[in-house]
Amino acid sequence: MANEELNKRVYVHELKKGLNLEQVTGNEESLNRWIIAPDINRPGLELSGYLESNDLKRVVVLGKKEQEYMAKLDPVIQKQRFEIITDSYTPCIILSRGFTGNDVLYSLARDRNFPIFKYTGETYQLIVDAVAFLSERLALGDIMHGVMMNIYGKGVMLLGKSGIGKSELALDLIQRGHMLVADDRIDYKRINERIVCEAPASLKMMLEIRGLGVVNITRLYGAKAFLNKCDLDFVIRLVKYDEKEEYNRINQANDNIDFLGLHIPVLTIPITEGKALSVIIETAVTEYILMRQQGIDPNEEFRERIMQEIKKNGADND
């Protein structure tokens, strides 16, 4: 994993733009504060004066309930409590639509050049939007060299040595109605229990075909040929067929690859000349869908038939 992932941060000005927030206090310089936690803080304990286990490194959200509680307190106490959540560690405060204003908070924020924003929606929607935005921006990530496709609605990563024909296979799959996500370099992130893949900005919609060069697949096949990003469900590793190697004929997809702590199933497919590889890939993905989503295992079904045949032959011999 790249070292920079250990120090990921989002600047407050990015959050402002991403959530379309209205700035109430603070100047442009105040927007250079960092956000390093993909979560929010509703500071009920801090506002009540309890500081034993506070977490002020998160974005603070204040709604109608917090405002109603603080309005009951003396302005001197209000200032003491608001000082806690406007210190140098707190990135910013976002007020939901239910928060109509607090003069003590605004005055303190102006004195400290602390950024406060207003959000037009309800508090619950603010929390959902903020956590989703920060989770994606702060997610740990890495890169993989290969081709990322969306096949039958599933994210499929094609891996293999350079020159084995991954991009040519991708072109064939696109012609068969599937969607390209990334060619050559795949950027991926872990967001909760998902691995999300996309192409770097400079390579989006681009596919490199040996002897032809780089082509923009949306200009050739339209917007339906490209998907900006998708979850990773399945990995297919392409290898040149070697008669000295033994390839499993049954249940090849029991292996997996670790992606940032999540295990993704991988299937190895040996390539020989004349193989209808795109059809094989489609079949592999269809089988994956049957096994993972419907619990149908053709390999187990085959074993069961063999065992029944053995038992039948044994009974006949008796």
Give the 3-state secondary structure of the chain.
CCHHHHHCCEEHHHHHHHHCCEEEECCCHHHHCEECCCCEECCHHHHCCCCCCCCCCCEEEECHHHHHHHHCCCHHHHHHHHHHCCCCCCCCEEECCCCCCCHHHHHHHHHHCCCEEECCCCHHHHHHHHHHHHHHHHCCEEEEEEEEEEECCEEEEEECCCCCCHHHHHHHHHHCCCEEEEEEEEEEEEECCEEEEECCHHHCCEEEECCCEEEEHHHHHCHHHECCEEECCEEEEEEECCCCCCCCCCCHHHEEEEECCEEEEEEEEEECCCCCHHHHHHHHHHHHHHHHHCCCCHHHHHHHHHHHHHHHHHHHHC
pLDDT at 99: 82
Q: Is 189 a catalytic residue?
A: no
pLDDT tens for the chain, residues 1 to 318:
444 444 578 999 999 999 999 999 999 999 999 998 888 998 887 888 766 555 558 999 998 888 889 989 999 999 999 998 898 889 999 999 878 888 999 999 999 999 999 998 888 899 999 998 998 888 888 899 999 999 999 999 999 998 888 999 999 999 999 999 999 999 999 988 899 999 999 999 999 988 888 999 999 999 999 999 999 999 999 998 776 666 555 444 458 899 988 999 999 888 877 678 899 999 889 888 887 666 666 566 656 666 666 666 655 555
Active-site residue (options: 154, 166, 190, 237): 166
Task: Identify whether the C-beta of residue 199 lies closer than 8 Å to the C-beta of residue 189.
Answer: no
* Catalytic position from the list 72, 74, 249, 258: 249
- Catalytic residue from among 17, 87, 111, 145: 145
Known catalytic residue at 249: yes
Q: Say whether 185 is catalytic.
A: no
What span, in angstroms and rounded, lies between the C-alpha atoms of 245 and 243? 5
**Cβ atoms 222, 232 nearer than 8 A:** no
Active site annotation includes 166: yes
Q: Determine the pLDDT at residue 179.
A: 97
Q: What is the pTM of this model?
A: 0.67
Q: Which of 184, 229, 233, 237 is catalytic?
A: 184
Give the pLDDT of residue 311.
63
